[in-house]
Amino acid sequence: MNLANLTTAPVSLQFPANLLRLENGLTLIHQHLSATPVVAADVWVNAGAIAEPDEWCGMAHFLEHMIFKGTELLPPGVFDMIIESRGGITNAATSHDYAHFFVTTAAQHLDEALPYLAELIMNAAIPDKEFERERCVVLEEIRQAYDSPDWLAFQALIESIYQHHAYGRPILGTEEILMELTPDAMRRFHRAHYQPENMTVVIVGDITQDDAVNLVTQTFKPSFAPISCPRCEPEAEPPITDIRRQELWLPRLEQARLMMAWLGPGIDSPLQGLDEQLHDAYGLDILSVLLAEGRTSRLVRELREERNLVQAVSSSFSLQRESGLFTITAWLDPDNLERVEAIICDRLSELASIPVSEAELARCKRLLCNDYAFSTETPSQLAGLYGYYSILARPEIATTYPQRIQAIQASDLQRLASHYLSPYHYAATVVRPLAA
């Protein structure tokens, strides 16, 4: 498979797993690991929070809960009992871009465990009584989130930076909308999105490809024909042309928070090819490490170790399908807020004008490549990695991360800092303690 040319050396796609498209449209990724007696089965559905229309905000996450409430053939609680009695583990998660469900079990128990997981995912009954019970659980999750200063600040931040796109909506939804959702609406959402052509099943561990194909083919069969439901048409987020600042005053807060955010590249940008988007995204990973990963990173060293202006400072880049997000967060005394924000902006200006040293660049690459190595050691980690990239782009690129990181140069980082991390165009949320 040929990739578009970059200014860097071509990246080889030596994907260790096998990628198959089954007759019903489902994508299967399989990797045989004979050295481990464990198998991880990870199911990814292209039905995250951005698939919801505004009036169904929170539906994807609520459905994640209801998936485990049984089907016409499988009463609530039976699946958990089966997995636990065989020493397996299972869980699920929902993001803006996807929902995924996974089980890890001893290899000899997969043919017992996977049919139950497939039955739940494909044929969720969404019973009315269970719906009302679980609505209370989700409502409690929302209320707990509103008790978290960091969640409140981050949600305010993304609502500020994503003023048009669905990424600005809370994945949990809101109490008001949640109370309006109905079992029938959720069944429509499920029947529309939880179809084989919209799903990827990843099987990694001690199982042959033939056995994996046979097992998935036999079990991932929906009983319901696809139907239509209201859909969200994500709106492109325009560039930020100023500084969007907001302040929150919260009780029972010991330290202030400063959160700053910039829009970054997404996988589906119409302005760049996939290789260019990944090159930029991974370059922003390097910049996040350079700024605030470890005691010798620039912001940690200056703001915490030398000047004692913050208790902690962190930075991260989140790669998403349609728009990435670069953030810097500091926990500090309220009196230092303005000074710390000014220093951060000065350091971003320096990144755009002064090349990063080879020693700093080598340190950042080493940390990121080591982290990648440590996060790809187990079948469940590999299954999650392949599924994540299958939803965002193509699973084959999942293993090229170290090569792409090593290809980034100091001049790339200057360009990225100048293009994405402007000290004049960003969103900032400040959280201050509310006096008693």
For residue range 375-389, what is the model confidence (pLDDT) as tens digits?
Answer: 999 999 999 999 999
| Range with the largest mean pLDDT of 10-19, 234-243, 281-290, 427-436 | 281-290
Give me the pLDDT at residue 236, please: 79
Total domains present in the chain: 2
Do 292 and 211 share a domain, yes or no? no
Does residue 57 register a pLDDT over 90? Answer: yes
Give me the pLDDT at residue 271, please: 63
> Is 112 contained in some domain?
yes
Does residue 305 register a pLDDT over 80? Answer: yes
Q: In the Cβ-directed half-sphere of 70, how many Cα atoms lie within 13 Å?
A: 14
Give me the pLDDT at residue 349, please: 98
Do 158 and 271 share a domain, yes or no? no
When pLDDT is averaged across residues 322-349 and rounded to a whole number, the result is: 97
Does residue 3 register a pLDDT over 80? Answer: no
Query: At residue 6, what is the residue type?
Result: L
d(CA 434, CA 436): 6
When pLDDT is averaged across residues 393-415 and rounded to a whole number, the result is: 95
Which of the two residues, 142 and 13, has the higher pLDDT score? 142
Closest alpha carbon to 267 in 97, 403, 433, 99: 97
Give me the pLDDT at residue 268, please: 79
Q: How far from chain centre, in Å, is Cα 245?
A: 25
> Is 195 contained in some domain?
yes
Do 142 and 288 share a domain, yes or no? no
User: DSSP secondary structure string, 29-44?
Assistant: EEEE-TT-SEEEEEEE
Do 196 and 293 share a domain, yes or no? no
> Is 210 contained in some domain?
yes
**Where does residue 141 rank: exposed (0-12), middle (13-18), buried (19+ CB within 10 A)?**
middle
Give me the pLDDT at residue 223, please: 83
Residue carrying structure tokens 């490549």? 369
Average pLDDT, the chain: 93
Do 376 and 427 share a domain, yes or no? yes
Give me the pLDDT at residue 235, please: 77
Which of the two residues, 117 and 77, has the higher pLDDT score? 117
When pLDDT is averaged across residues 151-158 and rounded to a whole number, the result is: 96
Digit-coded pLDDT (tens) for 69-109: 999 999 998 999 999 999 999 999 999 999 999 999 999 99
Do 137 and 191 share a domain, yes or no? yes
**H-type alpha helices, 196-246:** 209-219
Give me the pLDDT at residue 13, please: 61
When pLDDT is averaged across residues 345-364 and rounded to a whole number, the result is: 97
Does residue 193 register a pLDDT over 80? Answer: yes
Do 174 and 274 share a domain, yes or no? no
Give me the pLDDT at residue 239, please: 87
When pLDDT is averaged across residues 293-317 and rounded to a whole number, the result is: 97
Give me the pLDDT at residue 269, please: 67
Do 180 and 264 share a domain, yes or no? no
Do 351 and 289 share a domain, yes or no? yes
> Is 248 contained in some domain?
yes
Does residue 1 register a pLDDT over 50? Answer: no
**H-type alpha helices, 93-199:** 110-122, 128-146, 149-161, 175-180, 183-193
> Is 237 contained in some domain?
no
The range of the structural domain enclosing residue 343 comes to: 243-433
Give me the pLDDT at residue 224, please: 83
When pLDDT is averaged across residues 358-373 and rounded to a whole number, the result is: 98
> Is 1 contained in some domain?
no
| CATH code of 342's domain | 3.30.830.10
Of the listed ranges 187-196, 262-271, 343-352, 392-401, the least confidently predicted one is 262-271
- Out of 184, 219, 254, a domain closes at 219
Do 30 and 94 share a domain, yes or no? yes
Give me the pLDDT at residue 93, please: 97
Do 373 and 305 share a domain, yes or no? yes
Do 209 and 65 share a domain, yes or no? yes
Does residue 311 register a pLDDT over 50? Answer: yes
Digit-coded pLDDT (tens) for 252-279: 888 999 999 999 999 876 667 889 999 9
> Is 65 contained in some domain?
yes
> Is 129 contained in some domain?
yes
What percentage of residues in the chain have a pLDDT greater than 70?
96
d(CA 169, CA 161): 11
Of the listed ranges 9-18, 225-234, 329-338, 416-425, the least confidently predicted one is 9-18
Does residue 182 register a pLDDT over 70? Answer: yes
The residue length of the chain stands at 436
- Out of 219, 253, 273, a domain closes at 219
d(CA 72, CA 126): 10
When pLDDT is averaged across residues 420-425 and rounded to a whole number, the result is: 97
